[in-house]
């Protein structure tokens, strides 16, 4: 009863989301089949662990935000304290609880219109504007980080010869840290109390976390995924730093022997190269996710909490002009490239960065809304992430072909390069993909991961292979710089 009473209290200022965000929750939750059913009916009825509408939250976000799999709160480290007895959660299980809780919340709001208005909460329009602003800002930063990291890790004699591996590793690492972190976005109600380290009767095992600590963990998982800044970091920055379409492009280039340095080889070596790119990317990205999560656990005693006044009162409001101003500046840099007057013999900034920055927010926002609309449809198969990864791969393959025909001269090549690095790079994501693979049940994870790679690679072979092997000249040299 004490917990129910505390649930009715709200922070001084929180966020109120649009009613249209509840549309997906009218559908019934996807069933769990066969021996994989892990949900206890009493738990589903009594514990709304992952609903978006909770009184401990500083933000009242749309119900559809539960469809962002990178902010579901399902940890890749299921037993961080290495306790002898611990529960296990899967993405499918949490998705079912989310949808049940969201339907109950929507019903409560329809029955009690007064429940929609909570004193001190920011309007739903403001909540959406804050979220979109963070997504735009962090998509720009993520794209810059990806392009910069690729440039830094491309050098003579580099041990890894395909450029997508380091951004995918770094983005998955940050994603793992954000998912597992319990301090950066904590508040007084969700801060986890110190663990009771009293030894058990055997003297060599610690007791399990007390109920208060477990309740705080659940409250924090629910609270964190409602914060626009957190959504911007996880969905915007990590999703834009990593790129599934670039990963599939490198798979094809390994098959076609176009990854430098190239050398004469037979089909068996080409197949070995494809497997090397595939296994290296998937294994390192998954490893980075777990390493980031383990680092968050290790640094928990030292990690500070972001101050309420700074994030809610200042940072949220600054993000709006900063995000749209930076996006406008990137568009102006495409129109008036700064290297036109600095280096008259070469004009490459637009192809290298500025066009990519201009297209990046479009890809990030499209991925965000596709996840909201589609990820909740099938709990065992994240349809939103799958759709944007496959669509982005197809668009990148077509842009790659058009740029290597060549078509459109210098400016056309630079625009296509911006579509590949900016739009497709931010539309597709590896960090969310590996977070889903780590939290889905084993069979579903293999089906989902295998379908993503097979279909994406098949599209790349069909689109890029048609030009590579179907014409006498193959890939022509890029013309993404202007020489007088």
Q: What percent of the chain has pLDDT over 90?
A: 43
Task: Let me know: does 185 contact 223? Beta carbons within 8 Å.
Answer: yes
For tokens 């070469």, what's the residue?
346
For residue 406, whether the previous peptide bond is cis, meaning omega lies within 30 degrees of 0, is yes
Q: Looking at residue 322, what is its pLDDT? A: 96
Of 87-101, 178-192, 215-229, 257-271, the range with the lowest mean pLDDT is: 87-101
Tokens of 357: 């920055």
**Residue range 254-269: average pLDDT?**
83
Sign of CA dihedral 275, 277, 283, 285: negative
Q: Looking at residue 298, what is its pLDDT? A: 93
Q: Looking at residue 162, what is its pLDDT? A: 86
Candidates 44, 42, 41, 46; CA nearest to 3 is 46
Q: Looking at residue 91, what is its pLDDT? A: 74
Go through the chain and tell me how many residues it has: 484
pLDDT in tens, 362-410: 999 999 999 999 988 888 899 999 999 999 999 999 999 999 887 778 8
For tokens 């055997």, what's the residue?
202
Q: Looking at residue 63, what is its pLDDT? A: 72
Helix (H, G, I), strand (E, B) or coil at 53: coil
Residue 155: is its pLDDT beyond 70?
Answer: yes
* pTM value > 0.85: no
Q: Looking at residue 190, what is its pLDDT? A: 56
Candidates 336, 387, 352, 350; CA nearest to 366 is 387
How many whole angstroms separate alpha carbon 225 and alpha carbon 66? 8
Q: Looking at residue 27, what is its pLDDT? A: 33
Q: Looking at residue 338, what is its pLDDT? A: 81
Question: 3-class secondary structure for 376-408?
Answer: CCCCCCCHHHHHHHHHHHHHHHHHHHHHCCCCC
Q: What percent of the chain has pLDDT over 70?
A: 70
Residue 344: is its pLDDT beyond 80?
Answer: no
How many whole angstroms separate alpha carbon 401 and alpha carbon 152? 26
The mean pLDDT of the chain is 78
How many whole angstroms separate alpha carbon 254 and alpha carbon 434? 22
In angstroms and rounded to an integer, the radius of gyration of the C-alpha atoms of the chain is 24
Residue 313: is its pLDDT beyond 80?
Answer: yes
Tokens of 423: 């739009």
- Out of 36-50, 245-259, 463-477, the most confident range is 245-259
- Residue 56 DSSP code: T
How many whole angstroms separate alpha carbon 206 and alpha carbon 197? 6
How many whole angstroms separate alpha carbon 340 and alpha carbon 383? 44
- Residue 199 DSSP code: B
How many whole angstroms separate alpha carbon 428 and alpha carbon 391? 8
Task: Let me know: does 436 contact 442? Beta carbons within 8 Å.
Answer: no
For tokens 């996840």, what's the residue?
371
**Residue range 101-130: average pLDDT?**
68
How many whole angstroms separate alpha carbon 388 and alpha carbon 373? 12
Residue 358: is its pLDDT beyond 90?
Answer: yes
**109 vs 133 pLDDT, higher one:** 133
According to DSSP, the β-strands at 121-122 and 14-15 are parallel
What count of other Cβ atoms lies within 10 Å of the Cβ of residue 148? 12
Q: Looking at residue 144, what is its pLDDT? A: 96
**407 vs 14 pLDDT, higher one:** 407
Q: Looking at residue 348, what is its pLDDT? A: 78
Helix (H, G, I), strand (E, B) or coil at 58: coil
Tokens of 214: 């477990």
Residue 206: is its pLDDT beyond 50?
Answer: no
Of 26-40, 51-65, 239-253, 442-456, the range with the lowest mean pLDDT is: 26-40
């Amino acid at each position: 009863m004490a917990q129910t009473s505390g649930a009715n209290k709200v922070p001084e200022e929180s966020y109120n989301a649009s009613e249209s965000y509840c549309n997906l929750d009218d559908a019934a939750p996807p069933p769990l089949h066969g021996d994989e059913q892990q949900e206890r009916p009493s738990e589903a009825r009594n514990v709304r662990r992952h609903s978006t509408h909770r009184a401990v939250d500083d933000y009242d976000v749309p119900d559809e935000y539960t469809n962002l799999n990178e902010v579901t709160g399902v940890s890749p480290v299921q037993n961080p304290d290495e306790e002898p007895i611990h529960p296990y959660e899967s993405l499918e299980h949490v998705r079912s609880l989310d949808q049940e809780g969201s339907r109950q919340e929507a019903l409560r709001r329809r029955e009690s219109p007064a429940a929609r208005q909570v004193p001190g909460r920011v309007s739903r329009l403001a909540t959406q504007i804050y979220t979109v602003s963070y997504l735009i800002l962090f998509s720009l930063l993520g794209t810059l980080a990806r392009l910069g990291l690729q440039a830094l890790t491309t050098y003579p004699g580099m041990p890894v010869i395909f450029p997508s591996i380091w951004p995918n590793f770094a983005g998955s690492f940050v994603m793992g840290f954000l998912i597992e972190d319990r301090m950066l976005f904590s508040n007084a109600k969700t801060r986890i109390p110190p663990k009771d380290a009293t030894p058990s009767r055997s003297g060599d095992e610690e007791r399990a976390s007390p109920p208060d600590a477990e309740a705080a963990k659940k409250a924090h998982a629910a609270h964190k995924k409602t914060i626009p800044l957190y959504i911007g970091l996880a969905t915007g920055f990590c999703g834009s730093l990593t790129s599934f379409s670039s990963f599939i492009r490198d798979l094809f280039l390994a098959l076609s022997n176009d990854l430098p340095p190239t050398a004469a080889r037979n089909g068996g070596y080409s197949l070995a190269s494809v497997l090397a790119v595939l296994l290296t990317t998937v294994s390192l990205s998954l490893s980075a996710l777990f390493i980031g999560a383990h680092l968050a656990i290790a640094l928990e005693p030292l990690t500070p909490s972001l101050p309420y006044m700074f994030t809610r009162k200042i940072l949220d409001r600054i993000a709006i002009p900063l995000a749209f101003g930076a996006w406008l500046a990137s568009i102006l840099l495409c129109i008036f490239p700064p290297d036109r007057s600095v280096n008259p013999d070469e004009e490459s900034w637009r192809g290298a960065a500025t066009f990519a920055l201009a297209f990046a927010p479009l890809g990030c926002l499209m991925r965000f809304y596709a996840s909201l609309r589609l990820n909740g449809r099938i709990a065992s198969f994240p349809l939103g992430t799958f759709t944007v990864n496959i669509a982005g791969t197809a668009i990148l393959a077509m842009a790659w072909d058009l740029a290597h025909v060549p078509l459109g001269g210098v400016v056309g090549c630079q625009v296509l390069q911006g579509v590949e690095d900016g739009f497709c790079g931010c539309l597709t994501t590896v960090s969310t993909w590996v977070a889903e693979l780590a939290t889905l049940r084993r069979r579903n994870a293999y089906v989902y991961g295998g379908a993503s790679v097979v279909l994406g690679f098949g599209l790349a072979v069909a689109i890029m292979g048609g030009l590579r092997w179907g014409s006498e000249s193959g890939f022509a040299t890029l013309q993404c710089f202007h020489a007088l």
